[in-house]
Structure 1
Amino acid sequence: MGCCKAEEKRRIFARFDLSQLRGRICFGRENLHGIIASPVRGAQKMKIIVLGAGVIGVTTAWFLAQEGHDVTVIERAQEPARETSYANGGQISVCHAEPWANPKAPWKTLQWLGEEDAPLLFRLKLDWNQWRWGLRFLQQCTKAKAKSNLQNLVRLGLYSRDTLQSVRAQTGVRYDQRTEGILHYYTEQAEYEAAIPAAALMREVGLDRQVKTAAECLMIEPALAQSRRPIVGGTYTPSDESGDARQFTNELADRCAAMGVQFRYDCAIEALERIGDDVKTVRVRSAENDVERLNADQIVVCLGSYSPLYLQPLGITLDIYPAKGYSATIPVVDPEFAPTVSLTDDGYKLVFSRLGDRLRVAGTAEFNGYNLDLNEIRCKALIERTSQIFPQGMDYTRAEFWTGLRPATPGNLPYIGQTRYASLWLNTGHGTLGWTECCGSAKAITDLISHRKPEVDYPFVVGV
């Protein structure tokens, strides 16, 4: 992604000892078929530039290359998945389709104001974009909008998970994946009871999210028996998965390169340039400080939280604001006490994914602009809370901490579709669900660029 080289070199992965209405159009859903497309015979081969080599950008490049297009990926880092996709929670979680914006959210957010270790923390700034995003978030907090957003997110998530499975079957890509499902567990009776109707709504849309008793939760994941926080119940989605998004992105990038996709790393995007009524040029600066203008038939923006910065000069305003998340990657020293099923702690708003001999724990959302500093208080909170649940089995003194910016939209719906410029497309704003939604979003944007009706019922953007 494009920004100054100095910022790219910022070390955001650290180790330390803890002792120290936008325009949208809906397309109807059809039967899932032809997920991995062969190059379209007789179709026009286009030169397409994809901006960003995170999990969204690389999957977009993959599907476009499958169509036989000439694809170039521009990335400011030295390799794929160096930013938001680097060390996320690892969950492929359709069950996380419940939008942040819901009728209870405003009160909870107010309760957490000023708490350094709060799961959701707004650091209020003199930043109009932050305040505008907050107002749009409040507008999405009605019961009707929360239900609509949930339904759209479940449909996109189901489609994307199926598409990921097809990519995995075709390519043989490996990424410490696990397919034992995801268990949400609750330590408060009120939260558990509130989850039951949400699970029922998800089942109506096609997601098998099952309500479980406390005893059933322990049968699904016996490692929870050591928790110092009593579990009152849970919901279980057996079809959800987990895996290392960075490893997946790197392996798929290798396969893209083998198909002829060109990756331009250490390449900072300076601007998208409009000529007449269209945008077909990207101005970039190489690591050697050489400026170049790259032309294409189509351009796809997959720049996550940075997307609005490059689109605003073109008159395009996106309701995307960076939600800073934290993760810790902890060595597993005794597998008997480490979870194998991916978990979500609803009270602490944490997720846990077993990645080989590591446990990845991630969570919190901090609205603090583009700040990437590791906050020691929030890092310590990750470990303290995790050790309450899993006091044995992990070496917490060797935890590695990371922070990244998730591109959050007020209703959690990503922007997928065409802008007001015929050659400029969006695949961005996936928030915490980029890993979950990457393959479905990439397949859908490829269908749209190819003038095909996508196979998923989703409010794609048009003319934003």
Structure 2
Amino acid sequence: MHAIVLGAGVTGVTTAWYLRQAGFEVTVIDRQPAAGLETSYANGGQISVSHAEPWANPGAPLKVLKWLMKEDAPLLFRLRADPAQWRWGLQFLRECTPGRTAHNIRNIVNLGLYSREQLQRLRAATGIAYDQRQQGILHFYTSEQEYAAAQEPARIMREQGCELDMKTPEECVAIEPALAQCRAQIVGGSMTPSDESGDAHRFTQALAALAEQAGVKFRYQTRVLGCEREGQDLARVIVADANGEIERLTADRFVLCLGSFSRGLARELGVSLNIYPAKGYSMTLPVISPAHSYQVSLTDDEYKLVFSRLGDRLRVAGTAELNGYDSTLNLRRCEALLRRTRELFPQMVAPEGQPSGAQYWTGLRPATPSNLPYIGASRVGRLFLNTGHGTLGWTHSCGSAAALADLICGRRPELDYAFCGPELGAWAGRAQAAT
């Protein structure tokens, strides 16, 4: 059977890998000249099961109001005359109840645990290298209120099997000595020793090379122009190559992995996806003072920033700006990353007034109001979804792809997750009949 995967970010490439391992002939379509050049290019670098509390939680509405129109806010809504943004925002508010938050945390943790295990299996089987570190992730808090609010989500995560231990300020510094530079600000922390970090861009390109060696065909610099249906099924995708030549490509299965751009193509087919682009920022710094630079991946919960060590580079990433599909760099938000990093690690970064060597980047993360991605069958025959991963695309990529490959093959996935589409048992019967 032939599968076409739309998108060559980390989610699309892992989907192609697992489908090929399941015996499919696979073609990947992407508009870029290589894999992993958009949202997967320079993210925070964390494989973070512990980053499971969704943006939509009981404390979020007041924070959003406080941050409204504040240029350096961790989560910034730029209100627009955009029905999709308002629809997303209203559903976001509905997801802020304690019950919905608990439900979403459980699903995010279950998917994260499974995905991390799949990544570890893949790494052991292939020897893939991507500046990975297996030193855990340390969340630290500089606000008593934020630390207190973290206790209940941490309890839910532990109930779902996430190894997460609360830490004193002294224990935080013992785990990561670089935090001694900001010890006076830290009120507590939490450590997830099984979490990891690594360069998602390097991983995506390395896995694409392995997939190509295994027989996956990558068609880069190829744009998806539209789709054609036959009855209730998706029959063809219409594409244009770098020379503008138009083709109609057929397959037995199609998988939508176009990130923030998934919503538009799905809408053309009558499938409603509540995905909105959340523009995230990152900064990459050179290591200029090894003795004062962190080794353990960190999360600054108050400012919603993550810090990862990628070889001889330091990655700082975070914030979310809901402003449509605008992908221009906002200098104010870039400066906020550097300012906060200097506050926490003054000896790690060049002093103010001196060149920092910072390289800034922004990407459109495909966010859903609940932070749960769409994984599974759609209402259109032959079309499957693996999109809407928001800030956790790197964390959830291997698990999402492995589970989706099971669904497409008619197998019940190993994890308990709110998959979209038909009930697993009913779908399994139809999938087996189709093969």
Q: Aligned AA for 2:237?
A: V
Q: Deviations over 1:310-337 (max 9, x none)?
A: 0101111101000000000000012111
Q: Aligned AA for 2:283?
A: A
Correspondence for 1:433? 392
The answer on whether the counterparts of 2:7 and 2:29 sit within 8 Å (CA) in structure 1 is yes
Q: Deviations over 1:361-384 (max 9, x none)?
A: 001000000000000000011101
Correspondence for 1:397? 356
Within 1, Cα distance between the matches of 2:348 and 2:89?
40
Correspondence for 2:418? 459
**Aligned length in residues:** 419
How far has the Cα of 1:228 moved from its partner? 7.3
Q: Deviations over 1:115-168 (max 9, x none)?
A: 000011000000000000000111111100000000010000000000000000
Correspondence for 2:427? none
Structure 1 spans left out of the alignment, 5+ residues: 1-45
Q: Aligned AA for 1:428?
A: T
Within 2, Cα distance between the matches of 1:392 and 1:264?
46
Within 1, Cα distance between the matches of 2:181 and 2:365?
32
Within 1, Cα distance between the matches of 2:36 and 2:240?
20
The question of 1:233 aligning with 2:192 is answered no
The question of 1:334 aligning with 2:293 is answered no
How far has the Cα of 1:227 moved from its partner? 2.0
Partner of 1:438: helix, strand, or coil? helix
Q: Deviations over 1:233-275 (max 9, x none)?
A: 1011000000000000000000000001000000011012212
* RMSD (Å) for aligned C-alpha atoms: 1.1
Correspondence for 1:8? none
How far has the Cα of 1:463 moved from its partner? 5.3
The question of 1:221 aligning with 2:176 is answered yes
The answer on whether the counterparts of 1:175 and 1:248 sit within 8 Å (CA) in structure 2 is yes
Correspondence for 2:255? 300
The question of 1:209 aligning with 2:167 is answered no
Within 1, Cα distance between the matches of 2:349 and 2:208?
32
The answer on whether the counterparts of 2:271 and 2:380 sit within 8 Å (CA) in structure 1 is no
The answer on whether the counterparts of 2:108 and 2:372 sit within 8 Å (CA) in structure 1 is yes
The answer on whether the counterparts of 2:105 and 2:153 sit within 8 Å (CA) in structure 1 is no
Within 1, Cα distance between the matches of 2:133 and 2:103?
30
Superposed, 1:305-320 pairs within 5 Å as 305-320=260-275
Superposed, 1:105-144 pairs within 5 Å as 105-144=60-99
Within 1, Cα distance between the matches of 2:160 and 2:305?
25
Partner of 1:227: helix, strand, or coil? helix
**Percent of matched pairs sharing the same residue:** 60
The answer on whether the counterparts of 1:54 and 1:85 sit within 8 Å (CA) in structure 2 is yes
How far has the Cα of 1:229 moved from its partner? 5.7
Within 2, Cα distance between the matches of 1:218 and 1:63?
40
Within 1, Cα distance between the matches of 2:215 and 2:235?
21
The question of 1:370 aligning with 2:353 is answered no
The answer on whether the counterparts of 1:186 and 1:232 sit within 8 Å (CA) in structure 2 is yes
Superposed, 1:340-359 pairs within 5 Å as 340-359=295-314
Correspondence for 1:380? 335
Within 2, Cα distance between the matches of 1:86 and 1:321?
19
| Residue of structure 1 aligned with 2:218, choices 263, 288, 294 | 263
Partner of 1:289: helix, strand, or coil? coil
Within 1, Cα distance between the matches of 2:363 and 2:251?
30
Correspondence for 1:247? 202
How far has the Cα of 1:405 moved from its partner? 0.6
Within 2, Cα distance between the matches of 1:292 and 1:301?
18
Within 2, Cα distance between the matches of 1:84 and 1:229?
35
The answer on whether the counterparts of 1:280 and 1:424 sit within 8 Å (CA) in structure 2 is no
Correspondence for 2:431? none
The answer on whether the counterparts of 1:50 and 1:61 sit within 8 Å (CA) in structure 2 is yes
